[in-house]
Structure 1
Amino acid sequence: MESVGTELCFPQLINTSCRKTIRPHLEAMLIYMLLSSISLFTVALNLLVIISISHFKQLHTPTNLLLLSLAVSDFFMGLNMIFQIRMIDGCWLLGDLMCSLSLILASIIFLASVGTMVLISVDRYVAICYPLHYFTKIKTKRVQLCVCLCWMFAALIYSLLLKNNLQHPGRYNSCIGECVIDINYIASLLDLIVTFIVPITVIVILYIRIFVVAVYQARAMRSHIAVVTMKATVKKPEMKAARNLGVVVVVFLICVCPYYCFVLTSQNNVYTTSSVTILIWLLNCNSCLNPLIYATLYPWFRKSIKVIVTLEILKPGSCRTNML
């Protein structure tokens, strides 16, 4: 049987330290290896997306700028995962202040990611439902402004909602080595509305509208009905892009919904990070899945990976390489 000292997060603090979750050595090693691999994979893949869209001029499109914002949020989420790995055994070793900062930064990154998903849905909605107005309404500078506002809004709202955790770090800890999140009822409700209910509602409504237009187009083509107004015509690449980004959105919903279902059904507003570890990691895994989706669905991403890995990106004029 393990001694008491080895079961504590801080063995030197016998009376005040939290206890570790003791696992067999092989199981613990496998868990750490798996989660470390996911974290590093997330960081590396999203870094490839960031380099690809930033470097190659042909990829500087409004839609890809939104994918860039999503990749940036996923990249930082991957870095945050590295800090969360140590929580698997139920111990937070970085101190109360870092616990609060980690929570706030993760919340800001996540809300920015959700906001980007909404912007992606709006982009596809305009492209499919109002194709003639797309290039007049969706301009690069407007998209850049929307992305900046999205990140600023995320930073502002969580700085206000979670400021109590920064002012009194560790206030609700029952022992040293615990990382407890304190969210009052109003903040929790606002968080739920801003990060889940409103964005998901907007995304679903927009994609239902896109689906309706797509079905109408398919029926019109099958029945050989001539489309008189150009407003109703949707180009094949635009429809394909909508379908591809639809996959990104659906995967996002699958990863996010379990966590918020738990929040909705939970009876109290104080959560230890260990109590929702599995749901948080499922939510985080979305950041790893996005670049895998790009690699599967976007030829330009596969081509850019080849150029980056073979170091052709270092050649003069590589930014003008044909990626499409």
Structure 2
Amino acid sequence: MPSHVVLVTGVSGALGGRLLSRLGACADVERVVGVDTAPPDSDVLHGLGRAEFARVDIRNPLIAKIMTSAKVDTVVHAAPTCHPAGSGRRAAIKEANVIGTMRLLAAGQNSPHVRKVVVTSTTAVYGASSRSQAVFTEDAELIPATATGYSKDAVELEGYVRGFARRRPDVQVTTFRFADIVAPDVDTVLRRYLSLPLVPTGFGFDGRLQFLHADDALAVLERAVTRDRPGVYNVAGAGVLPLSQAIRRAGHLGVGLPRITMAPVATALRLTRQVHVSADLLRLLNYGCVVDTGRLEREFGYSPRWTTREAFDDAVAGRRATA
């Protein structure tokens, strides 16, 4: 029998919109309400099934009324913009990520019906530097790559989630730290960077990267809704892909530049609106970030079906087919 009433945030994004459709067709979900400040893609709207959409900003007190009136028992927070595709305004992104999360959790804390919260975060919380661990487990210290940026947002976001878990110990909380999500039609800043005809790289650096296929991201989110698997989990495809190999597999050419020139080049790319190469991304490209997914397999019971290399190749092949 259907047993879950689910609220999904961020449904105008690629991940949240697909999750809304997926849960709308799930036999274990009685009702699913998607919220965002903009509607999902037209394809999502035409295939909602039992799902529905409400144009609501999660920073608005109206979100609490929706939770109560719909008797939402499961909240999936898929709204955080951890790897923004465009430049955007830094203050607006931070407001949506951090303040939005804080107010959503406050609404959930006051709801008598909420029994489960699922949050999307990012492996960027571990930072990227010459002193970084070779492989990060979920127990590693969270050190954002920069004092401002999406990695710092994600660390703050997780702090609010831990505070919520302490205040509501009766609620099961699951946090996923996703590697960069890829798919033929998923737009991220890293995708735009690797799509440049000449890809600037730091001379002498070759960061080890991990990718997660969107299909696997959706699968773990659905499983977290329909099964009880609280905890913090790294989620990434098996294996690693050095930056130099990723550039070659994308069919482009890497150009090694002195480290001192990378920041001005990043600024030029941003000003020409080709790609927003942030300080966080520069550190990732130089030093890389690799996570251990053993806990995901042992405790959560899921092993990503796409390896890092397979996920990346599928995204590249799909983009070429539609070009």
Q: TM-score, normalised by structure 2?
A: 0.24
Which structure has the higher relative contact order (CA within 8 Å, separation 6+)? 1
Larger Rg, first or second structure (1 or 2): 1
